[in-house]
A = this chain, B = another copy of it.
Amino acid sequence: MFKKILIANRGEIAVRVMRACREMGISTVAVYSDVDRAALHVRKADEAYPIGPAQASESYLRVDKILDVAKRSGAEAIHPGYGFLSENARFAQACADAGIKFIGPTPQSMEMMGSKTRARQHMEKAGIPFVPGTARGLASPEEAEQVAERVGYPVMLKAAAGGGGKGMRLVHSRPELRQALESAQSEAQRSFGDSEVYIEKAIVNPRHIEMQILADEHGNTVWLGERECSIQRRHQKVLEEAPSPIVDADMRRRMGEVAVRVAQAANYTNAGTIEFLVDQQKNFYFLEMNTRLQVEHPVTELTTGLDLVHLQIKIASGEKLPFTQADVGIRGHAIECRIYAEDPDNNYFPSPGKIDVLLQPSGPGIRRDSGMYEGWTVPMDYDPLLAKLIGFGTDREQAIMRLERALYEYFVAGIKTNISLFRRILRDHDFRAGKLDTGFLDRMLAKADPGPTARAPEPRIAAIAAGMFAVLEPPAAGAKDGNAAATQPTASNWKERGRAEALR
């Protein structure tokens, strides 16, 4: 087993990986950019080294600097978390070249799954179900028409190099096709410098369901159940759950077996996720593979009773999987809310800044993986994910009720968060009924907010509270007291005190 691991990440996932390391008796090495000196992952590490300015391209994405810290500190392995360098095959290769174990798949597996068309070509050979269409770019408008005729309208045009909706066109019927193709190709050229466009049958109101797999380095691969990830905004997942409300044991087994075949076809090792699109008839189609730990891995941990990060580390150190497929059982229901620093009242604009007040939930059935603390200033330079709140229950209803209770306890002031969005989602009729697809959230947000429930308090309580606050804790003094001490608190304290006193 490793004695020391470098965590090439920040935020909640760095903290989560460090906790696993501490549990396993492994020392941790943090890296941090200039704006992250006071970040939680630095506080929690056994060693910590600066790697440059705020901009990720000059710090968290710098392969050379991270490997340099790994060598200096004597780390034997690197956990990349998610995002940043986690799916960068060059980084995995550079680790291997430096004799440092990359906790994840091989660079070869990552390469293979990194390009959508390349992955599709490999996987079609392995008999994996795909959305009907072409596995490569269209040579001509005529070919496009033929393929569209074959798979049936509506169809989706997609840029091979694509992502984020760019170079995508939904085509409902043949007369629209030619012009849509031209415009998709030119947009793809402008956006990615590559005009290659292919056709897929358009899935109407698809679900996004993914399957977790684990593979050791001795040829054993298992699936650990699916996650329902249909609730998205701007292609960003917001809330995930396990199991999916529509997947039964048979469908789970079939998806699991396909996922294992995908992993084996890619000679995959360590933790990975196979994403599927699922249509209204519950047919599932391979979409892509994520060659890393997912943000939403906790819902799988709660329903299987396993710790995926412990297992990632054990696999990377050469151990065999300590269980077989037959040992894996799914029990209960888990739902994750991604707490983002964004303003639900202002078009979900990001909201970095100082956290003045933080009240955090706990208690039965509640797991909190957080990268924030009261007094911390959330930098503007990174992903707005602050924390994950995960609710577990005997069944889906109880998981929902527990999350609602925990969200009630959660309070953040100083910056805006999307906590209130989850209250709306969890109350929504379609959500309660499990009627989900990737359009769910946009539809819900287009409706008027039903607003507070019947049990909502009256405004007069706020009026009384305002007076009591004014009497018991005047704002000027209150705002000061809670400040985390700066590096030179003396001078600034004096200044603020003067100000506070002048206000009286």
Contacts and interface: CB of A to CB of B under 8 A. Distances in A.
A253 B408 CA distance: 40
A108 interface: no
A310 B398 contact: yes
A23 interface: yes
A332 B482 CA distance: 41
Contact of A473 (B363, B408, B481, B485): B485
Interface stretch (A158-166, A299-307, A344-352): A299-307
Contact of A363 (B368, B408, B487, B488): B368
A16 interface: yes
Interface string A353-367: 000000010111111
A456 to B, nearest CB: 13
A365 to B, nearest CB: 7
Interface stretch (A193-201, A399-407, A459-467): A399-407
Contact of A366 (B365, B367, B394, B473): B367
Given A307-B394, A398-B310, A485-B472, A19 B497 contact: no
Interface string A273-316: 00000000000000000000000001001000111011000000
Contacts of A402: 23
Nearest to A401: B23
Interface in A447-491: 472-474, 477-478, 481-482, 485, 487-490
A25 B482 CA distance: 34
A363 B22 contact: no
B301 A364 contact: yes
A15 interface: yes
B298 A364 contact: yes
A493 interface: yes
A270 interface: no
Given A305-B331, A305-B332, A332-B305, A364 B20 contact: yes
A363 B16 contact: yes
B360 A369 contact: no
A471 to B, nearest CB: 9
A370 interface: yes
A251 to B, nearest CB: 22
Nearest to A453: B25
A329 interface: yes
Contact of A364 (B19, B364, B393, B489): B19
A444 to B, nearest CB: 22
Contacts of A20: 364
B23 A404 contact: yes
A24 interface: yes
Given A23-B398, A401-B23, A489-B473, A362 B360 contact: yes
Contacts of A477: 489-490, 493
Contacts of A481: 481-482, 485
A303 to B, nearest CB: 9
A307 to B, nearest CB: 6
A475 to B, nearest CB: 12
A306 B365 CA distance: 10
A394 B306 contact: yes
Contacts of A24: 401
A9 to B, nearest CB: 16
A298 to B, nearest CB: 7
Contacts of A489: 472-473, 477
Contacts of A301: 364
Contacts of A329: 331
A23 B400 CA distance: 9
Contacts of A22: 405, 408
Contacts of A23: 398, 401-402, 404-405
A23 B361 CA distance: 13
B363 A305 contact: no
Interface in A308-348: 309-310, 329, 331-332
A309 B332 CA distance: 17
A193 B435 CA distance: 68
Contacts of A305: 331-332, 394
10 contacts: A22-B408, A305-B331, A306-B394, A310-B398, A362-B362, A362-B370, A364-B367, A472-B487, A477-B490, A481-B485
Closest 7 CB pairs of A and B: A23-B401, A362-B368, A23-B405, A22-B405, A305-B332, A473-B485, A19-B363
